[in-house]
């Protein structure tokens, strides 16, 4: 795991976000009209220099992937949340457009790898596997691995809020978009290949693997299995027991297994996964 992940409590805004906010907002208040002629350019340079100095992102993250940004403003933008952009007294762009572009770069990268490495899958199966690989859970995990929340720039109202999985995904895609624009899509693909290789060593499993289908959408997988083998749909029966639910699974009107869960939604997903993983349909 990269060293940056240990810099701040999981999910919380880090010390850098507080330091950057206080240092920059205080400077804007002292400088008066931050967007006056001449002041705007000076303040933008101040923001970039402050970001590089206080985040130390070049040493903590970029050096690991041999990334050297020619446009430091673009790098800072990749970590600028809209809450700060709206509050700053100088024109600052948020990461939202970079996130949009990064999403496309990531989609093309994943699609190409699936096409080249899963020759036995048709387009429908490839589409399902792509969804299993590129989603909020997987991207937020990669973002946490990189420690991207440690470089997040937010407004005052967000400083003490949880950095949720949605924002973590945004950061992953916006940084990727910034790399692609600054250094080209091929360089962005190299970065992704290096990152996934490091991540696979950390978690002990391949990123591109069919097992992700089972983890991502076991209910659909089980439904396909029961329709093919028994011409019926699986049945989930939920019984509330105090603050929990007992979930029972039936296939072809026969009891398969049960478990206890805090929610019906998670419980049905987990029991479908258990059924497939333990090959419980073979008992019928």
Query: What are the residue numbers of the active site?
Result: 103, 173
Chain centroid to CA 239: 34
Q: Tokens 């749909």 correspond to what residue?
A: 233
CB 170 within 8 A of CB 95: yes
CA–CA separation, 149 and 143 (whole Å): 8
């Amino acid at each position: 795991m990269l060293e940056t992940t240990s810099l701040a409590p999981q999910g919380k805004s880090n010390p850098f976000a507080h330091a950057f906010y206080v240092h920059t907002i205080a400077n804007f208040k002292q400088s008066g009209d931050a967007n006056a002629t001449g002041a705007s350019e000076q303040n933008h340079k101040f923001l970039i220099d402050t970001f590089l100095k206080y985040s130390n992102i070049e040493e903590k993250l970029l050096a690991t992937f041999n990334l050297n940004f020619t446009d430091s403003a673009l790098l800072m933008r990749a970590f600028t949340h809209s809450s700060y952009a709206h509050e700053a007294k100088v024109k600052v762009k948020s990461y939202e457009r970079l996130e949009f572009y990064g999403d496309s770069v990531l989609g093309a990268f994943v699609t190409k790898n699936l096409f080249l490495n899963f020759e036995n899958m048709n387009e429908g199966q490839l589409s399902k596997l792509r969804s299993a690989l590129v989603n909020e859970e997987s991207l937020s995990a990669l973002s946490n691995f990189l420690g991207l929340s440690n470089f997040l720039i937010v407004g005052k109202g967000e400083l003490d809020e949880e950095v949720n999985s949605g924002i973590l995904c945004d950061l992953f895609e916006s940084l990727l978009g910034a790399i692609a624009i600054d250094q080209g899509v091929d360089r962005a693909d190299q970065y992704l290949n290096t990152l996934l290789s490091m991540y696979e060593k950390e978690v002990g499993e391949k990123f591109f693997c069919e097992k992700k289908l089972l983890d991502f959408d076991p209910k659909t997988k089980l439904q396909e299995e029961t329709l093919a083998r028994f011409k019926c749909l699986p049945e989930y029966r939920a019984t509330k027991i105090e603050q929990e639910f007992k979930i029972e699974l039936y296939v072809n009107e026969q009891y398969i297994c049960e478990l206890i869960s805090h929610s019906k939604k998670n419980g049905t997903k987990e029991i479908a996964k258990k059924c497939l993983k333990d090959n419980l349909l073979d008992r019928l």
